[in-house]
Amino acid sequence: MKVLIKNATIIDSESSYHGTTQDIRIKDGLIIEIGQKLASLKGETTIEKEDLHISQGWFDTSVSMGQPGYEERETIDNGLNVAARSGFTGVALNPNTYPIIDTSSDITFVKKMAEGHATSLYPIGALTRNSASVDLAELYDMQQSGAVAFGDYQTPIKNPNLLKIALQYTQGFNGLVLSFPQEQQIAGKGMVNEGVMSTRVGLKGIPTIAESLQIARDLHILEYAGGKLHIPTVSTKEGVALIRAAKSKKLNVTCSVAIHNLCLTDDLIEDFDTRYKVLPPLRNKEHVEALVAAVKDGTIDTVTSDHNPLDVERKNVEFDNAMYGAIAQEATFKALLTIVSEKRAITLLTAGRNLFIGQNNPVKEQVKADLTLFSTKGSQTFTKQDILSSSQNAIFLNKKVKGEVYGIIANNQVVLN
């Protein structure tokens, strides 16, 4: 592969070229030259785009694909193509498959299925066997096979001692533990945010204390046991405050927010549209404003799409019977750009790589080309034509978004929209 990228504005705080407009020459997957007015060489493919920006490749910390077991929702092959065209050069795969990814052979299988793609797949192993929150899964063996973290997707750890043991055990191999922030007995049979809107439409609510209580418990355990804890998809003002306080105490905790919890409010459930049935639920304006403040001040480390393709049999049903989940990867960057600056957006979309795999690929010479190409200009409405996934449960359908994703260069491949 020989590529010359012309007139690209580099957004990368780890690069000496940050904020400048440069040409970038890539050969065999390596950045070999950065400069201005570079001449095209024989055999090179030239990439020129309007308002072209480049950053380190984006990393999505929460992606579901279905395969194995739920291929009708999404296959790994198409899921990685969706990720590439959405600007992500790396994704962390949730273990909510059938069977659940809780053994080293399961990790090996999904990694094998992902070979040959521009976007790299990094499996999250289930923390407990069958994600049942009873016994720890074979964490070390999964880590040796390529698991980058351990967590039960959208399933709280009921037994606090299990979390304590997991945090202590994973210190032996620097493992990352995920704990979904919901106290299930408080949440009960709730399915939307508890508040004015849940009362108006007559749906059972999940109170915000269900999240903050679980986070408070987990942070106390982390302080006692040590280890590395990641709290995925925080959604409440109180949860953010607890994490901010824990970070000020130097606890080794990180967190993410789902892009829809950052942009949308629970007013949308008024029409019982199941695309808006997600977990954690969409909250009200007060919590959304707290989340936006937290991504701006660094309390929230990374933004995820929490991309969860579901087929029509799971979503086009009564609200009570619909499964939780939405697809958002195609709109993640464009929605995020409506809230924060381009520099902050890129920081939030690239931070997950270092958190989950301890690796960055700055835009520098003699560094692996792992790049996302995008534009920050223009606004448009996200339509059905923008959906790339096999499933159609797009939470940002008909919403205003900003910017454009041009594609990625990664794993010695070029994927352009």
Tell me whether the omega of the peptide bond preceding residue 232 falls within 30 degrees of 0, making it cis.
no
What are the tokens at 61? 């910390």
Q: Report pLDDT for 104.
A: 98
Q: Report pLDDT for 206.
A: 98
> Which residue, 123, 127, 126, is CA-closest to 145?
123
**Is 28 annotated in the active site?**
no
Tell me whether the omega of the peptide bond preceding residue 68 falls within 30 degrees of 0, making it cis.
yes
- 154 with 181: CB under 8 angstroms? no
Q: Report pLDDT for 351.
A: 97
- pTM for the model: 0.97
The secondary structure of 249-316 as a DSSP string is TT--EEEEEEHHHHH--GGGGGG--GGG--SSPP--HHHHHHHHHHHHHTSS-EEE--B----HHHHS
**pLDDT digit string (tens) for the chain, length 417 residues:** 999 999 999 999 999 999 999 999 999 999 999 999 999 999 999 999 999 999 999 999 999 999 999 999 999 999 999 999 999 999 999 999 999 999 999 999 999 999 999 999 999 999 999 999 999 999 999 999 999 999 999 999 999 999 999 999 999 999 999 999 999 999 999 999 999 999 999 999 999 999 999 999 999 999 999 999 999 999 999 999 999 999 999 999 999 999 999 999 999 999 999 999 999 999 999 999 999 999 999 999 999 999 999 999 999 999 999 999 999 999 999 999 999 999 999 999 999 999 999 999 999 999 999 999 999 999 999 999 999 999 999 999 999 999 999 999 999 999 999
Residues 261 and 284: their CA atoms lie apart, in Å, by 9
Q: Report pLDDT for 177.
A: 98
Please report, for residues 171, 181, 216, 252, 351, the alpha-carbon distance to residue 248 in angstroms, rounded to integers and kept in the order given. Answer: 22, 20, 15, 10, 19
- 403 with 374: CB under 8 angstroms? yes
Residues 392 and 405: their CA atoms lie apart, in Å, by 20
- 178 with 133: CB under 8 angstroms? no
Q: Where do the domains of the chain lie, and which CATH numbers do they carry?
A: 2-53+366-388+400-416 (2.30.40.10), 57-357 (3.20.20.140)
Residues 321 and 326: their CA atoms lie apart, in Å, by 15
> Which residue, 175, 233, 244, 239, is CA-closest to 211?
239
Tell me the pLDDT tens digit for each residue of 113-158.
999 999 999 999 999 999 999 999 999 999 999 999 999 999 999 9
Q: How large is the angle between the packed helices 209-225 and 237-248, nearest 10 degrees?
A: 20
Q: Residues 152, 218, 301, 306: which is the catalytic one? A: 306
